Structure 1
Amino acid sequence: MINGRTVTFPTTVTDAVWSPNGDRLAFVDAQGNICVSRPDGTEIKVLTPAVSGVTRSGPTWEDGGGEVVYSRTGGDGIAKLYEVAGSGQDVDAHGNPTETQVFETSTDGGRDTAPSAVFDAAETWYSQVAGAGPRSVLVYQHGTASGAEVLITDRNIRNIQGFNKLVTGSQPALAPNGERTAYVDGNGQIDLVSLHGNGPSKPVRLTVGLSGVTHLAWSPDGSTLAFGTSTGVDSIPVPANAVSSSEQPVTQVSATPGVPTYQPLPATVVARISGQDPTALSIAQSQARFTTPKDFGSTMNGPAAFKVYIAPADPTQSEYDLAASLSTDIFSGPVLLTASGHGLDARVSAEIKRLLGTPNPDSFVETSAPQTITIVGGTDGVSAAAERQLRALGYPVVRDDPSNVIAGTPKPEHANGHNVVLADEHDPAAVAIGAAVARLNNAKLMFTDGSTLPPAVAAYLNADTVADPTPGEDYGHAQIDAVGNGATQAIGTWKQVPYTQVTTVTATSAEDLSGKAAALLSDGPLGIDLIRSGNLTDSLSALDQTVYTSDWPLIVDPTSGLAGTEASWLGAQGGSVAEIWVDGSADLPDSVVGQVTSSLGALSTNAVGNPVSSVVSWTPPQ
């Protein structure tokens, strides 16, 4: 039943739950597999392998829709938490589905059921500065000899290490903002506990006299809890600031027993970003993606910029400098463009002040610290005069000229562990996609000269490896991704070091490369950045958000639109993609954007016929 209307699926549906963007459902089918589908029951995709004697239950979406976590009971009768990609991309070498136990729960002894997860890309200043990224919290029911308890784990391992007991109880459900958890207490009633940095608050009871309560579900705004009973589905209001127990009125939602789940609204949003010149466009991208902090270092309600990159607005070799620079920094921040050979554009100066606020010397620990301005490239791009004006603003300023990385000699500060992405410096599409892959996977972006692997790059790939690694020692370059035909041919000439995995992506066009790389190397993106073919600068400047929101750039032709590989990949991302960014709106017509939303299967209306998709146009003040 969806809003009182019967929807028929070709299989039984158990424990159905909406994806965070409201475009997909995850559920358990008749064979006990975890599946996803469109809300009308079409395009069912089986995510888990068929294993005799295994049962699964309680799926919940995690990573903003990129993963599905569920309880899996094996032949030994012990329930454990497992996860699988919501897109169906977790497969073995033969294309068969695979599943993996949730690492953080692997040492709790099992008997784990009823998982509930929340992902929030816009986290606090401290957690992002600490390199932890978005909030990704998981609660679940854990069985013990003395009864059920609720455990909690922060999957980005910040202030909650591993798993911790939250309360004694069962059937936990995280609020949409991740700050409260509802659960069923030992008396069968619904209680509420708030989560704080110093630990949970004292539980507050919300119901009295209920029986058979199960499957708690929050409304998208966090104001209501629905739950199943033996006689139907009921709901209660949840006070915004509940500090003491208070019985809440119960409303019957349905006289038919079932598992409630709310459709999140709105669904996929299309945001067109435009500007009258490259500088204006870069500012529009910044204003659309990053909030204005009240006090730098305070908790934000949205993603905050911790650094600002300044690059020349003229299309030059600096675009490659920008790719290398962006792929090496864990801190999120926009790319602002200013004209080469001139002083700092006044519009850029104003935007920097908006983003970083009042200079805070306490944050100036090092040049990679928050509130740092990074100039990309040499003085032939962003001039020495512009640099002096930037320094006069009062923030730390560092000039990052990675041109020697282009030539194949990596600077030490550009090395991110042992993951490397290779791209042909003569292939703009490969450079843009390679930068995205490097940034998402915390890898080092390096360049080939067409199909030639520069000696210095080969030397770097051969460095710091061991012939027979042992636990705790350096395993060499764990992953090398060669993006594009040139890089693929170049890496083919390298004598591969043992224990190193190489993935190659070849294609017939920039668009085809975009789709193939997404299928192989992306992981449940929350947003899609649409970039016109050949527009490398727009593509690179759109990477400012990829670290924390997992956006993925798709290169599209303004006339023919999506490549087949892109459309196919998008069809598997309907559970996670909530935003479509169109950078440079004059370049891409509505028909191309329509291809994207159609491929995603994004809903045009919700269950009661109200529109849920919207279009936002963003142009900065002139």
Structure 2
Amino acid sequence: MRNRFGSAAAIALMTTVGAVLLSACGPDNSDPGSTAAPGTAAPGTAAPGGGSHSGSPAPGGKEINGTSAANHLAISTGTKTVAMNGTTVDFGTVVRDLAWSPDGKKVVFVNGDGDLVTANPDGSGKSSLAKAPSGETWSHPTWQHASKGPGGDSVPNETEHFNNIVFASSKDGALQLETIPAKGGTPEVLTPRSSEGGTDNGIPQPPTTGNTWPNAGGHQGSIAYANTPGNEVYIYDDYIRPNTHDIGKGSQPALSPDGGHVVFVRSVNGHDHLFSRSTDYEQKTEKDLTPSATTDYTEPAWSPDGKTLAARTPDGVSTLPADGSAAPTQVSTIKGLPSYRP
């Protein structure tokens, strides 16, 4: 698959020469506060547990920035500043692959040293979750979380089991998923597995290496991720019992807020398109959301209400209806990784 900002590229771009883990964050390291800055943007609804954001208005206003308090969009570009709420927030450290906590009150990212860090949305309260070992590159953290049951009961396997940061790790060219408690601790390898597989019934287990680009969604701790060697997208669910299933060819998956759909990237006729399908293994129908694409749409993100998608393009960030009912519209010239605050 010809994917300009593919999973392997996103992992590789974070180290110095020849390892640019930051494809998801902006390979050009442009500052969203400068007039030459590249960009992103997308819609949503009012953020619960809001709070003020520090920062100065982005020069050029909406034409340059494209973010606002109303649309919940944030754009991280691999610099110290993140575009959000129509301003640029200075985090005081390089911010790569920024992602949000389920309540929107915290962010998690990889800093300039390659370590996992959490912070408040205004850049304050930074806390190091873990330091990357020498020779190991971390990328694309996501907040795995599960809500309590309908009656307020704890979820299976205890709620603590589903309050983690899952991220991709690369060492000596080997890719794998790792997980760490959101409150900090020691990272452990996350091995996707299926209770339906194994030697007893002849069904093979999913690949344990080559996995990258994790993205959590829904209320039961589900994770979508990409397997680079196979160019496949998988859904991993460990809510009641381990279950991993193959969604199909693609990369850079993003789970919807309700966990019911997954959007991913696939090359079609020389351009990267966005595809969508149900996460239900039995419902295999796919939809090309960008059938008339004349550019590449990559690194998709869902709005909090699940109605809108933001995607990175070579010219910035575009948004489109999640059902594909309209063509994408460019909303920002800032080139970076789009994310939505819940």
* Fold in common (TM above 0.5): yes
CA distance in 2, matches of 1:210, 1:171: 19
1:155 is matched with 238
- 1:113 corresponds, among 212, 217, 232, to 212
Are residues 1:139 and 2:240 paired? no
Structure 1 pair 219–254 and aligned structure 2 pair: CA distance change class (3 A): same
CA shift for structure 1 position 85: 1.2
Alignment counterpart, residue 166 of structure 1, candidates 247, 263, 269: 247
- Deviation for aligned residue 1:107: 6.3
Partners of 1:216 and 1:148 lie apart in 2 by 17
Residues 107 and 148 of structure 1, relative CA distance in 2, 3 Å threshold: closer
| Matched ranges for 1:271-350 at <5 A | none
Q: CA deviation at 1:247?
A: 6.2
Question: Do 1:68 and 1:86's aligned partners in 2 also have CA atoms closer than 8 Å?
Answer: yes
CA displacement, residues 463-513 of structure 1 (integer Å, 9 cap, x when unaligned): xxxxxxxxxxxxxxxxxxxxxxxxxxxxxxxxxxxxxxxxxxxxxxxxxxx
| Structure 1 residue corresponding to 2:112, chosen from 4, 9, 30 | 30
Q: TM-score, normalised by structure 2?
A: 0.63
Q: Does 1:185 align with 2:276?
A: no
In structure 1, how many angstroms separate the alpha carbons of the residues matched to 2:218 and 2:190? 16
Paired residue total? 230
Which of 118, 124, 143 is the matching residue for 1:61? 143
- Distance in 1 of aligned mates of 2:245 and 2:335: 33
Query: Which of 170, 182, 190 is the matching residue for 1:73?
Result: 170
What is residue 337 of structure 2 aligned with on the other side?
259
**Higher helix proportion, which one?**
1
One-letter amino acid of the counterpart of residue 208, structure 2: G
In 1, Cα distance between equivalents of 2:239 and 2:177: 17
SS at structure 1 position matched to 2:277: strand
Partner of 2:62: none
Q: Distance in 1 between matches of 2:294 and 2:300?
A: 13
Tell me, which stretches of 5 or more residues in structure 2 are unaligned? 1-82, 147-161, 194-204
C-alpha distance after superposition, 1:199-237 (max 9, x if no partner): 233101110214332221100110000011222111101
Across the aligned residues of Structure 1 and Structure 2, the Cα RMSD in angstroms comes to 1.9
Q: Give the superposition deviation at 1:157.
A: 4.5
Residue 102 (str. 1) matches residue 190 (str. 2): yes
Q: Supply the distance in 2 between the matched residues of 1:38 and 1:142 (Cα, whole angstroms).
A: 31
The 8 Å contact of residues 215 and 254 in structure 2, kept in 1 or not, is answered as: yes
Note the C-alpha offset of 1:119.
4.2
Sort the Cα spacing of 1:148 and 1:107 in 2 relative to 1 into closer, same or farther, 3 A: closer
- The answer as to whether partners of 2:252 and 2:299 remain within 8 angstroms in 1 is yes
C-alpha distance in 1, partners of 2:107/2:333?
22
Instruction: Look up the SS of the partner of 2:140 in the other structure.
Output: strand
Counterparts of 1:426-465 in structure 2, within 5 Å, are none
- Correspondence 1:19 to 2:135: no
Contact residue 177 and residue 211 of structure 2 kept, 8 A: yes
The residue that corresponds to 2:287 in the other structure is: 204
The SS at the match of 1:189 is strand
Alpha-carbon distance in 2 for matches of 1:50, 1:258: 23
Tell me the distance in 1 between the aligned counterparts of 2:339 and 2:228. Answer: 24
For the residues of structure 1 that align with 2:210 and 2:295, how far apart are their CA atoms? 23
- Structure 1 runs not aligned, ≥5 long: 91-97, 121-134, 240-245, 265-622
The TM-score normalised by the length of structure 1 is 0.36
8 Å contact 1:61–1:117 — kept in the other structure? yes
Provide the secondary structure at the position in 2 that maps to 1:166. strand
Distance 1:117 1:22 in 2: 14
Higher strand share: 2
The runs of at least 4 consecutive aligned structure 1 residues that moved more than 6 Å come to none
What residue is the counterpart of 1:354 in the other structure? none
SS in structure 2 of the partner of residue 79 of structure 1? strand
Paired amino acid for 2:301: A
Find the aligned partners of 2:97 and 2:315 in 1 and give their Cα distance.
17
